[in-house]
Amino acid sequence: MVVLSLDAYSRLTDDVEYALDAADRQAKETDVRYTHEEMFSKLRGTTNG
């Protein structure tokens, strides 16, 4: 079992939490919605070149 300090856990998760919060804010401000395929094809394009 791996035990992390609160600081270590925060360093691992803060960026993800920030991105999710930003996505939530953007979703409230716009009516634009993407399908699962549209979103993941965009992500694949950025990670695979």
27-49 pLDDT, tens digit each: 999 999 999 999 899 888 888 76
Cβ-contact 32, 24 below 8 angstroms? no
Question: What pTM, to 2 d.p., does this model score?
Answer: 0.57
Which has more confidence, 14 or 2? 14
Return the pLDDT at 20.
95
pLDDT given at position 21: 97
CA distances to 2, 10, 11, 13, 29 from 7, in Å: 14, 5, 6, 10, 32
Report which DSSP code applies to 1. Answer: -
CA distance 14 to 7: 10
Q: How many CA atoms lie within 13 A of 23 on its CB side?
A: 9
